Copies of this chain bind each other. A is one copy, B any other.
Amino acid sequence: MNYRYVIRELGLVMIVLCLCMVAVMGFAAWNWSGGNEDERMAVLALVMSAVVGAVAGLFCWLFGNRSGKDYLGRREALLLVALTWLIGAAVAALPYFAWAWMEDEILTNHAFSSFVSCYFESMSGLTTTGATVLGDIEGIPKGLLLWRALTHWLGGLGIVMLFVAVLPTLGVGGKKLFQVETPGPKHDGGVRPRIADTARTLWLIYMGLTIAAILSLRLTGAMGWFDSVCHAFSMVSTGGLSTRDASIGYYDSVAVDMVCMVFMLLAGVNFALFYTLARGKFVNVFRDTELRVYIVLKIVVTIFVAFNLLGQPIISTGGRVIEQAHAGQALQFSAFQTVALHTGTGFVTADYDPWPFLSRVLLIGLMFIGGCAGSTAGGIKVIRFWVALKVMASEMEKIFRPNVVRPMKVGKSVVDNETAASAVVYFLAILVLFAIGAFLIGEFEGRAGRPDFQTAMSASVSTLCNVGPGLHGVGPTMNYGWFSPGSLTVMSLLMLLGRLEVFTILVLLLPRFWRSD
């Protein structure tokens, strides 16, 4: 294992993060000069954090740079990825902590006074989860809110780069999964130019989506530029952090809802498909089985939930009370919540916690499934879910026809046994981690009375699948600020595990991984 190289690259990541902080600091300073006194502390916090982070990053870079070898193997790549999120979240948490530390006199018991909570918030940002410890989001300076949104955007970009450009080229992890239907870009030449080429195209796609999202949100007229930018960052990364306590429900606008749905939907699609589209291969995209299942799932659940809500009361997170929802309202709120939770964005327009049991269960089910592979969405991923269903069907057929061998197909491609087994194992691993997570959260909270199972379970699935809100104690109108440090640490780990596709992190626990051979 080439540790020095890993540390050098990690140093670079930290420096990049700090440069981003400086950019956000520029915005905060401009805001402050415009007469907004609240921003003063945000500017200070961002400067201090950027300096501390950059010094640490530089130290890492210099230490690592003494190594002459410039080789990134599979194991180095895996370690680097894990450390990027683990250490990156610590660096990204500095501004929150520094701010609360300086505002000490006017804040009492603020969530950001604890570093564990700050770490949770920045991990939630970088993993594009969107769970927040903040009860009063609107009381935070705009500079910090922009930083929060930017962590989403950076995290989302990192994930797309990683899972579409880097890892498949290295032959790590999800490779086979992407090649089921949407063969990734293939060029001649070595690994590095290939990665660079793919990365450039993905970067352009991601930027394009972001700009389109900002403009669309601004054009609805309901949002100012600041809110548009923050929510756009949050949407294209399927993050979910908002600048408002009531999330998207604050705007109470059908136009905003529609724009959000379109961009959340797009952000949950495999970015390799956009890549294919950019290469002009339209037919391949519409034949994509994962995309079809992804859309059909949404339509079916939306209709179910809408029927379920018909004539029921709906309370928007903005406080509007609908006594008896008519068809249009039921459809509007059901479609928004379905898209927001399935893609793992976690925006909310209505308090779905008191919705009928069936609706809640379907929404939780979609959280588990998540968006498409190669997107910024979390969860098991549609393609794995689909393959697992196919494996079950074939397992059943084997019972009464043990001698019939039928190749398993997704669309027109044959799925080999290894890929199928991988998908099923991943599904199982998510369920097991979910159970362990729910148990640990319940155990940590249980010390203060009996654990609330619904809260513990939904907090576990919501963080593991990078969604954000859950049910009950972590419902749409609640936040994660009340959890004990133990639970927050567990959930930070769950977010990381879910984000980096579980085994990419778990592999670090294998002794064999560390043995040099």
Spell out A's residues near B (CB within 8 Å): 74-75, 78, 171-173, 357-358, 361, 388, 391-393, 395-402, 417-418, 420-422, 424-429, 431, 439, 442-443, 446, 451, 453-454, 457, 503-504, 506-507, 510, 512-513
Contact = CB atoms under 8 A, between A and B. Distances in A.
Contacts of A503: 395-396, 399
Given A399-B78, A400-B513, A421-B424, A392 B429 contact: yes
A504 B397 CA distance: 10
Given A172-B399, A172-B400, A392 B425 contact: yes
Q: How many copies does the complex hold?
A: 2
A451 B357 contact: yes
A290 to B, nearest CB: 19
Contacts of A427: 428
A512 B401 CA distance: 10
Given A400-B78, A421-B421, A457 B446 contact: no
Given A172-B399, A172-B402, A453-B457, 19 more contacts: A74-B400, A75-B400, A172-B400, A357-B442, A357-B446, A361-B439, A391-B425, A392-B425, A392-B428, A395-B425, A396-B503, A400-B507, A417-B417, A417-B421, A421-B424, A424-B424, A424-B428, A428-B428, A428-B431
B443 A388 contact: no
Chain A at the B interface: SS class: helix
A420 B393 CA distance: 16
Given A395-B503, A399-B504, A451-B357, A421 B422 contact: no
Contact of A453 (B424, B454, B504): B454
A171 B396 contact: no
Given A171-B402, A358-B443, A453-B457, A422 B396 contact: no
B393 A510 contact: yes
Contacts of A421: 391, 395, 417, 420-421, 424
A471 to B, nearest CB: 10
